[in-house]
Structure 1
Amino acid sequence: MQEQDLYNLRYPIGDFAYGSIFTTEQNHEHIAIIAGMPRKLTELVGRWDDERLDTPYRPDGWTVRQVVHHVVDSHINAYVRVKLALTENNPTISPYEEGDWAKLADYTLDVAPSLVILSNLHLRWVTVLKSLTEDQRQRTYFHPGSQRSFPISEVIGIYAWHGEHHYQHINQLAVRNGWV
């Protein structure tokens, strides 16, 4: 497989432009994307059998099952980080080793529990995000891995991108395999 093909499989919607400044209108659009993501993902994979769920989305990539569980873990962390940024002064968050998390036993479970968690998590997260003032969207947390602070406004953009990024991993696999 050619390098460009692998890049397109890894980044089906391109890279996220870290450091971007987002307008209030763009934040509202991103929040709408976050709000719709659980339904969209559930409609895609909610009835898939183990064979499909255990298919890697790309060579040497995670399986669909691992991607779904990862999205939940990542978005749980993001939700907590947003709440920390809203209640503390530029708190230092705790990074996690997502590749190591993907090797833990809960990543072998059916995706149904994660889809339920994702739906309920996003309900709570979107409720918080929709309530934020412009000043609150500028509150930050410090990420020690990146060695910089992230404003909530950018975090909203990151996770709108993140959900769609992983959705497209799975959706494009389904298209390639004739599953949709």
Structure 2
Amino acid sequence: MAESVDIESLRYPVGKLNVPKDVSKEQISEWIDTIELFPSKVREITENLSEEELDWKYRPDGWTIRQVVHHVADSHMNSIIRFKLALTEEVPAIKPYHEEMWAELADSEAPISISLSLLDGLHKRWTLLLKSMSEDDFKRKLFHPEQGCDLTLTFMLGLYAWHCRHHLAHIKQGLESAGQF
């Protein structure tokens, strides 16, 4: 990785989140596909990594590849719960969490096979849920206390599809860095 790469490029290798206001059915379908395929893509690039490679970081002061894999499992568990809350309650307030602190807990040092297995099952269920949703379901909202506003499930779907691409790129970056960070 060239030294001239700035930290923002390393933090946001696929760009910052940008969910359009108007979203087509085709875009929703693409986002669902991203979520459906994510576990197999993560598994494909991580399953044969050594312990040393799993400890490579994707940027200075960033997480290790191992922490990224565990983070996406944590984050996506929260996401499916948020979707279910919004589908069964009227504008529920979600519970934010300190993801940076979760990444420092002991289970973030566990073998990634645990989180890969979790992602497999979780994303299968999440995809089933997403594919069953109607247009009106995607208009349902939840309240995000940190952002101080209501967010639609369409926005949340776009966010998590981006989240998949974002962290997949981080894992690839960590491999390309070969322990440089």
TM-score in same-fold range (> 0.5): yes
Unpaired runs of at least 5, structure 1: none
1:71, 1:166 within 8 Å by CA — same for their partners in 2?
Answer: yes
1:69 Cα deviation (Å)? 0.3
Q: Secondary structure of 1:37's match?
A: helix
1:21, 1:154 within 8 Å by CA — same for their partners in 2?
Answer: no
Q: What's the CA shift string for 1:2-57, capped at 9, x where partnerless?
A: 5x621111000000125633222111110001000000000000111110101111
Calculate the aligned-residue CA RMSD, in Å: 1.5
TM score, norm. by length of structure 2? 0.93
How many Å separate the matches in 2 of 1:28 and 1:154? 13
Give aligned pairs, total.
177
Q: Hey, what does 1:153 align to over in structure 2?
A: 154
Q: Secondary structure of 2:151's match?
A: strand
2:141, 2:153 within 8 Å by CA — same for their partners in 1?
Answer: yes
Residues 54-133 of structure 1: pairs in structure 2 closer than 5 A:
54-133=55-134
TM score, norm. by length of structure 1? 0.94
Q: What's the CA shift string for 1:47-73, capped at 9, x where partnerless?
A: 111101011111010000100000010
Q: Hey, what does 1:169 align to over in structure 2?
A: 170
Evaluate the alpha carbon distance shift between residue 18 and residue 148 of structure 1 in structure 2; reply closer, same or farther with a 3 A threshold: farther
1:150 Cα deviation (Å)? 1.0
Return 21-30 or 162-171, whichever deviates more: 21-30
How many Å separate the matches in 1 of 2:178 and 2:55? 13
Q: Hey, what does 2:13 align to over in structure 1?
A: 12
Task: Kindly indicate whether structure 1 or structure 2 has the higher relative contact order, using CA contacts under 8 Å at least 6 residues apart.
Answer: 2
2:65, 2:174 within 8 Å by CA — same for their partners in 1?
Answer: no
How many Å separate the matches in 2 of 1:19 and 1:29? 14
2:142, 2:151 within 8 Å by CA — same for their partners in 1?
Answer: yes
Paired-residue identity, %: 45
2:19, 2:158 within 8 Å by CA — same for their partners in 1?
Answer: no
Unpaired runs of at least 5, structure 2: none
How many Å separate the matches in 1 of 2:19 and 2:158? 9
Q: Secondary structure of 1:107's match?
A: helix
1:171 Cα deviation (Å)? 0.9
